[in-house]
Amino acid sequence: MAIIDRIIHERARLFILIYLASNEKEEISFNELLEKLEFSSGNLSIQLKKLKEVKYLAISKTFKDNKPYTTVSITPQGLTNLNRYVEEMEEIIKTFKK
């Protein structure tokens, strides 16, 4: 039986990683994530922090038009682990389809 990555398995973090991995842009703004994923800013901040702690994503804080501007990008490690997670879930589904 596959070992599930508990960091990715949490719904909000899974959605964040999938959105980042499937987007054409290298970096996504915090506000875009808020809008597209429909999270509260507090929940999004907490989930991003947890993903950053395990090096699944990188966060860049700068200023744009004299306002704080935060962007997020998935790291190579995050992409590798997301792909592994998807493969493990597919294996679990195949096991139960037999």
| pLDDT one-digit tens code per residue, 35-52 | 999 999 999 999 999 999
| Any domain includes 33 | yes
In this prediction, residue 94 carries a pLDDT of: 87
Is the pLDDT at 4 greater than 80? The verdict is yes
| Any domain includes 1 | no
| Any domain includes 73 | yes
| Any domain includes 32 | yes
Is the pLDDT at 98 greater than 80? The verdict is no
CATH number of 36's domain: 1.10.10.10
In this prediction, residue 92 carries a pLDDT of: 87
User: Residue 75 carries which side chain, given as an amino acid letter?
Assistant: T
For residue 1, what pLDDT band results from cuts at 50, 70 and 90? low
Residue among 39, 29, 16 nearest 68 (CA): 29
**What total number of domains does the chain contain?**
1
In this prediction, residue 8 carries a pLDDT of: 97
List b or e across 8-42, with b for residues whose CB sees 16 or more CB atoms inside 10 angstroms.
Answer: beeebbbbbbbbbeeeeeeebebeebeeeeebeee
Mapped onto helix, strand or coil, the DSSP state of residue 55 is coil
**What is the span of the domain harbouring residue 54?**
6-97
